[in-house]
Amino acid sequence: MVVTRRLFLAASLCVVLGAHAQERFITVASTTSTEQSGLFGYLLPIYEQQTSVKVRVVALGTGQALDVARRGDADVVFVHARTAEEKFLAEGHGVKRYPVMYNDFVLIGPKNDPAKVGGGKDIVVALKKLEAAKAPFVSRGDRSGTHMAELDLWKASGIDIDKTRGAWYRDTGQGMGPALNTAASMGAYILSDRGTWLAFKNRGDLTILVEGDKRLFNQYGVMLVNPVTHPSVKKALGQQFIDWIISPAGQRAIAGYKINGEQLFYPNAGDSNA
Site string for other proteins, 160-199 (x = CB under 8 A): --------------xxxxx-xx--x--------------x
- DSSP class of residue 114 equals T
State in angstroms the smallest separation of the CB of 118 from other proteins: 21
Work out whether 203 is an interface residue with other proteins (CB under 8 A): yes
Q: Report the distance separating Cα 135 and Cα 63, nearest Å.
A: 27
Phi, then psi, of 228 in degrees rounded to 5: -75, -45
Which position among 42, 46, 51, 56 is part of the footprint of other proteins (CB under 8 A)? 56
- When the beta carbons of 40 and 265 are compared against other proteins, the nearer one is 40
Work out whether 13 is an interface residue with other proteins (CB under 8 A): yes
The number of helix segments (H) and strand segments (E) in the chain equals 12, 12
Q: Report the distance separating Cα 163 and Cα 105, nearest Å.
A: 24
Q: Report the distance separating Cα 116 and Cα 230, nearest Å.
A: 51
Contact range with other proteins by CB under 8 A, out of 68-76, 91-99, 110-118, 186-194:
68-76
Which position among 42, 46, 51, 72 is part of the footprint of other proteins (CB under 8 A)? 72
Gyration radius from the chain CA atoms: 21
State in angstroms the smallest separation of the CB of 124 from other proteins: 28
Q: At what angle do helices 145-156 and 82-90 cross, to 10 degrees?
A: 110
Q: How many Cβ atoms sit within 10 Å of the Cβ of residue 272?
A: 7
Which position among 5, 22, 112, 262 is part of the footprint of other proteins (CB under 8 A)? 5
State in angstroms the smallest separation of the CB of 137 from other proteins: 19
Work out whether 3 is an interface residue with other proteins (CB under 8 A): no
H or E element at residue 29: strand 25-31
Work out whether 234 is an interface residue with other proteins (CB under 8 A): no
Phi, then psi, of 8 in degrees rounded to 5: -60, -40
Cβ within 8 Å of residue 139, ≥6 positions away: 147, 150, 169, 170, 171, 172, 179, 190, 191
Strand duo 266-267 + 94-110: pairing: antiparallel
- When the beta carbons of 59 and 253 are compared against other proteins, the nearer one is 59
Which position among 3, 4, 17, 49 is part of the footprint of other proteins (CB under 8 A)? 17
Work out whether 146 is an interface residue with other proteins (CB under 8 A): no
Tell which positions 24-43 bind other proteins, by CB under 8 A: 27, 32, 35-36, 40-41
Work out whether 202 is an interface residue with other proteins (CB under 8 A): yes
Work out whether 103 is an interface residue with other proteins (CB under 8 A): no
Work out whether 1 is an interface residue with other proteins (CB under 8 A): yes
Query: In 3-state terms, what secondary structure has residue 250?
Result: helix
Burial of 10 (0-12, 13-18, 19+ CB in 10 A): exposed
Binding residues for other proteins, rule: CB under 8 A, are: 1, 5, 8-9, 12-13, 15-17, 19-20, 27, 32, 35-36, 40-41, 54, 56-59, 70-73, 174-178, 180-181, 184, 199-203, 230, 232
